[in-house]
Structure 1
Amino acid sequence: MLRFLTAGESHGPALLVIVEGLPAGLPLATDYINRFLTRRQHGFGRGGRMNIEQDTITILAGVRGGRTLGSPLALQIANRDHSNWAAIMSPAPDADLDSRRVTAPRPGHADLAGALKYGHSDLRNVLERASARETAARVAAGALAAALLEELGIQIAGQVTGIGPVSISPLLLPPPELRRKVQTSALFCADPGAEKAMIQAIEQAREQGDTLGGTFAITVSGLPPGLGSYVHYDRRLDGILAAALMSIPAIKGVEIGAGFNAARLPGSQVHDEIFYTPERGFYRRTNHAGGLEGGMTNGEPLLLQAAMKPIPTLMRPLRSVEFSTGEPVAASRERSDVCAVPAACVVGEAAVAWEIARVVLEQTGGDTWEEITARFAGYRRRTGERNQL
């Protein structure tokens, strides 16, 4: 069973990831993981924290000679900014608990609900872990999964499709081509004209002390039919992927294929008609289902979209109350981004990669990379043969 845990606070010494369930013998390069982490830090609209942190991974356990051992992987991402917070974030009894206290909860953040749940009087005890900084650890875990999938011929790519009032349709390209198209974009957007309008919207929000959200799309190709299952609700891949994307901070909506637009159209314009030729087998001319039917992949490319709300830390803060007294105050301000949709897109890629890798390993079983590759190739052949009458 593939699973991971993360630990660490935003201004603590480091973020930690423990990954269990990867087979022994999987080729793994540190540079591959670091490229994911670097992309997560980029994107027009990011704040000052990205000028401090230069995320790289340190593998502490589970890999030797460039291949996994089958034992748990331990990964570390150092927080360079911790040197400025060492006394405040110290685990020792003499920690500086008075400096940088946070007592004015931010609307839209975990501050208030978290403090009420865990009984904290200093909201820093909430925001340090609720911070999106934790997603760096999640991206590292997802990069491991993406490396596994690429070895099996499964490719994943993301693109930003909206910032604030500017929105475009996803560009439907194979992931390698899509990655090449967005790699020079400051917003990971495949449309240069739309990107220009998005940048202008971000600049305007920055001048007004405001923030912007947006949308991004994830495409996955190379998936055989039948991954996931219809037999139990918790094994349906559409539900699994929606939950993974919704678990990313600030994500408030997920679409698969035609998504919400499918609710506004008759069935004759939504469902993907099935065709057959001896050369191609069963195939579709449209992909409104987004590659998923009945909780399973159907052999078409996977298409998911997610909507991110604006970041809740505003330089022109909203109204709030003092946590201890209830008196009206302005919400707390922390160093923050104006827009982090490009970063969320990379986190989305990692989240989708993780869940796809998990169902692939469930489908194949096996403790070694040799077993996994042989069994997955066998599954491809079997479903491919069934795809031919």
Structure 2
Amino acid sequence: MFYISTLLQLLLSAAVASWSVSYYSRSICAFERSSVDFSCMFDCSDYHILKTKYWFKPEAHQKQDGSQVGISVYNSEAAKIHQLYKNRTAYANRDKNCSLQLHNVSKSDTGMYFFRFETYSSRGKYTGPGGINLRVAVLPFRVTVKTKKVNEHIHEGDSVTLTCSTENCTPTQEPFAWFKNQRLIPEATDSVLQITSVSHDDFGNYSCGLKNSSTTSADEILLDVRYSPKNVKIAILSSGNIQEGNSLTLICKSNANPAVTNYSWFMIKEANISYIGSDREFSIKSASQKDGGQYFCTAKNDMGSQNSTVTPLKVEVPSHRNFLLTATAVFLFLMAVLLMFVTVTEEIYENLRKSPESEENLTTYVTYVDLRLPSSTSDRPRCNSQDVIYSLLSYKD
């Protein structure tokens, strides 16, 4: 009889040694109000008849390794299911499949879960070791920024990691969505957004969420990238065309982080560069011709500086001034023509002379005059002969 009892114990020990429970996910992260699957398979000796199959969760004051049975999450004896989990579970109930589905997950469901089966034998009880750790993610999402630097500003060229997470854990089974200044970043679908070399274009407010959900982070986070002035240019404020006497203002504009702390203004005229101001705005109260030229400005912050492109500035003369200038030019031209005419007349009379062929003994005589005309600059045609002879008959006294 002793040998039979010993043999039975050995057989039972061998049978129990072959029992097993396999969990196919040791850790699960789920959102509140979602459903989770505890995937599980078990094996036990065919010599034992199963009495009870159930899932349990150790209470806070118990050991969390499964050695102490806690509250019943699911039980094949429905009356033993804890009130917190009634009507929230669905058991696979297929052969040796011990998978369990838990619905409407809440933060209080966080903890360890174990599967256990019992037979009608006093020693025929087995709990699958290890269990499944359930963590419940509590919304909203939040974005954290990490760099290799510690307590330093982010500069252009730095490597930056943005992580989308929730309290306790972050589910990764669904695609994520990233937003910059409330605009979707199509290529970003993971919970981590990596920027290997950040630039000034990456400056902005970032948020995240699930791609197939409208839920995003409650608060956007600013990616504060520091950079030297960019896109420096000059804007001209004037009521119209820049004319003499009008006022105008030149503004030096740029993108920079931190803000520009120093401005410089320069004027280029006849290949000379002159420093003319140190404010963001350069004003001219009454423009004149001497203000015409080429202008550029320099913007500077703690990160560096940049010059604007050269901007030409032309000061126009008002229309009534143009009329006066034209009238003056016409008057001066007419005066020049008149003076020329007087000068030519005098030259003609100076060329008058008597002919050497005249005879003094004639009662009447003929005086010959040789008239020589000076060279003309006129385009009018003239005769080939340069000398014209005029005769005058006169009587001697």
Q: Same fold (TM over 0.5)?
A: no
Compute the TM-score of the two structures, normalised by the length of structure 1. Answer: 0.20
- Scaled by the length of structure 2, what TM-score is found? 0.20
Which structure has the larger Rg over C-alpha atoms? 2
Larger fraction in strand = 2
Report 1 or 2 for greater relative contact order, CA contacts < 8 Å, sequence distance ≥ 6.
Answer: 1
